[in-house]
Structure 1
Amino acid sequence: MASVDECRQALQDLAARLDRDAETVRERVDLDRTLACRITDLDTAFHGRLTNGRLVGLTDGDDPKAKIAMSTSSDDLIALVRGELDITKAIAARRVSIKANPFDLMKLRKLL
């Protein structure tokens, strides 16, 4: 099981990667939504905002009103960010759950 600090670092790494590729991401997925990432085995969460192809304002704690909410285990989060776990297979196997409106999900698929 990964630690809270490892999960935080993984999300910060993801934010840095999106920042480097913001223009490409924005072309593929033009969203401005709040985002929550809930780590089920650590009973913790992080939240931020996906906007202009970037993940900004990443901080500890849940956002119950987030427009996009992902739930997963700490190890699966680390594997997803590292590219070691395919998101489509993880969702099909119920290792990852993403709650969002259908239009947002269609846009998010372009990132996957």
Structure 2
Amino acid sequence: MATVQECRQALDELSKRLAANAEDARKRLNLDRTLACRISDLGVAFNGRITDGQLVDIVDGDNPNAKIALTTTSDDLVAMVRGELDFARALGARRVSISASPFDLLKLRKLI
């Protein structure tokens, strides 16, 4: 089981990768939405914002009003960010779940 710190680092790494590819990310994911990332096996959550294809303002704690909520285990989060677990396959196998409006789900598909 990955630690809370490893999950935080994974989200920070994802944020840095999106920032490094800002133009491409903006084309693929042009949203401005709050995001909650819930880690089911650790009972913790992080929240932030997706804006202009970037993941910003990541902090500890849940946001029950987040427009997009992702739930997964600590190991799966770390594996997805490292590229060891394909996001689409994890979604299909129900190792990760996403709660969002139908419009937002269509936009998020561009990242898969």
Same fold (TM over 0.5): yes
Task: Give the aligned length.
Answer: 112
Instruction: Tell me what 1:18 maps to.
Output: 18
Aligned-pair distance for 1:13?
0.3
Instruction: Tell me what 1:109 maps to.
Output: 109
Aligned-pair distance for 1:77?
0.1
Give per-residue Cα distances to partners, 1:35-62, cap 9 Å, x unaligned.
0000000000000000011111000000
Letter in 2 for 1:86: D
Give per-residue Cα distances to partners, 1:1-25, cap 9 Å, x unaligned.
0000000000000000011111111
> Hey, what's the Cα distance between the residues in 2 that align with 1:52 and 1:105?
16
> Hey, what's the Cα distance between the residues in 2 that align with 1:52 and 1:91?
24
Letter in 2 for 1:65: N
Quote the RMSD (CA, aligned, Å).
Answer: 0.6
**Any runs of at least 4 consecutive aligned residues in structure 1 with deviations exceeding 3 A, and if so which?**
none
Instruction: Tell me what 1:98 maps to.
Output: 98
Q: How does 1:70-109 map to 2 (within 5 A)?
A: 70-109=70-109
> Hey, what's the Cα distance between the residues in 1 that align with 2:8 and 2:29?
23
Stretches of structure 1 that go unaligned for 5 or more consecutive residues are none
Percent identity for Structure 1 against Structure 2:
64
TM-score (norm 1): 0.98
